[in-house]
Structure 1
Amino acid sequence: MSDVSAVIAQAWAQMSGWEVAAVILAIAYLLLAVRQNSLCWYCAFASTAIYTALFWDVQLLMESALNVYYMAMAIYGWWQWRHGGQQDSPLPVRRWGIKQHSLTFAAIAAITLVSGTLLSRYTEAAWPYVDSFTTWASVITTFMVARKILENWLYWMVINSTSIFLFIDRGLYLTALLLVSYLIISIFGLINWQKDYRRQYRQQPAYG
């Protein structure tokens, strides 16, 4: 246990001021998202902008490109949350039916299979299929957050749990610890959004 603590302390000491800022903003984004506060998207945009530059600087080009996508989704999510409801009203919490989730599962599985196969054949990537799953599932789930789909929190629980295993295996203990906090926050997000959904749509069917 002391060895793990020492590794975490060393990793923390090596973090740049920009990386610390990005982490703080990412946590702020989640906490505000739990409360359905559209200010969360400002935090998301700032955090992902920092990560875009940080990943590019260390030549993690795909991670940098992924964060460019997250920046675009921050703008889209802000607009949707404020104007995506009926008659330009704030977007309410909604649910997907079995059909939508089935198509989503199929899409994630298909893209993961293709991406994982390419990574395993042409690169030395660690855990290519697991890495592909967490990446593509995160891309799709971010869109679900922007559309205020209730079940996004369940998706994040699976993604974060898988990512924790991945980062521990790679020795990224500080990042794994950060995702433990994400996992806990996701539980509260599901509870709060579900309460709001039941209040607004108690007698209405799930949206398609």
Structure 2
Amino acid sequence: MSTAALIEWLAVAFGLAYLILAMREHIACWIMAFISTSLFLWLFWEAKLIMESALQVYYLIMAVYGYWQWTSGEQGQQRTIQTLGPSQHAFIVAGIAVLTLGSGYWLEQNTDAVQPYLDSFTTWGAIITTYLVAIKVLENWLYWIVIDLASMQLYANSELWVTVGLFGLYVVLAVLGYWTWRQHFQTQNANS
């Protein structure tokens, strides 16, 4: 097995651990995210996925931020799940679209990036959605479904097949994550 293949498998394993722990709202998810992200950073840089590489740097920062957010609730309590309104979601979607078009165009004109628009979409979508996870917004899982499906295409075009499989599993787990968090959200509001 090549070094790249081994790193991809390890990144996938830690990435899967992150998502399963996040679904369960377990604080260790952020440690798994940090390890997985470090490995994916190297892998994506080697594959010339420039925006995905930049995204991994952001993920490293967000792993620390997410850990801090999840442990900094009122009076030592963990942060609770929240939901956003339609106008907030419209703003988020519009922001992702504008950022995607801008960076996709810039990458297309100035770099040798492969798939600059798809790479930009998955990157900007993930940047914003990771923040939604860190502050525990219920709908983050719905955003992840779309981003993960697009990521599968991006990685398939780069022949990162293990990562394609991971993101296919992520889609299924995002559906389960939404359902799980929605139940927690309803319980949390019923107990308030």
Q: Same fold by TM-score, threshold 0.5 exceeded?
A: yes
Letter in 1 for 2:185: Y
Question: Which whole-Å deviations, capped at 9, do the CAs of 1:89-118 have from their partners, x for residues lacking one?
Answer: 200111111222121111111111111111
1:89-168 alignment runs, 5 A limit: 89-168=77-156
SS of 1:24's partner is: helix
Greater Cα offset, 60-69 or 99-108:
60-69
Please list every run of at least 4 consecutive aligned residues from structure 1 whose deviation after the TM superposition is greater than 6 angstroms.
none
1:32-71 alignment runs, 5 A limit: 32-55=21-44, 62-71=51-60
SS of 1:190's partner is: helix
Greater Cα offset, 160-169 or 51-60:
51-60
Question: Which whole-Å deviations, capped at 9, do the CAs of 1:30-84 have from their partners, x for residues lacking one?
Answer: 000011111101111111123334455677665443212111101111111121x
Shift of 1:203: 8.8
Letter in 2 for 1:81: W
The partner residue of 1:25 within 10, 14, 24 is 14
Shift in CA distance, 110/79, structure 1 to aligned 2, threshold 3 Å: same
Shift in CA distance, 95/79, structure 1 to aligned 2, threshold 3 Å: same
Distance in 1, matches of 2:147 and 2:44, equals 21
Shift of 1:22: 1.9
Partner residue, 2:75: 87
Greater Cα offset, 18-27 or 50-59:
50-59
Shift of 1:125: 3.6
Structure 2 stretches of 5 or more lacking a match? none
SS of 2:8's partner is: helix
Distance in 2, matches of 1:86 and 1:54, equals 39
| Maintained 8 Å contact 2:44/2:52 | yes
| Maintained 8 Å contact 2:9/2:162 | no
SS of 1:193's partner is: helix
Shift of 1:161: 0.9
What is the number of residues matched between the two proteins?
191
TM-score by length of 2: 0.88
Greater Cα offset, 133-142 or 116-125:
116-125
Structure 1 stretches of 5 or more lacking a match? 1-12
Distance in 1, matches of 2:43 and 2:116, equals 23
Partner residue, 1:172: 160
Question: Which whole-Å deviations, capped at 9, do the CAs of 1:130-157 have from their partners, x for residues lacking one?
Answer: 2211111011101111111110000000
Shift of 1:20: 2.3
| Maintained 8 Å contact 2:47/2:158 | no
TM-score by length of 1: 0.82
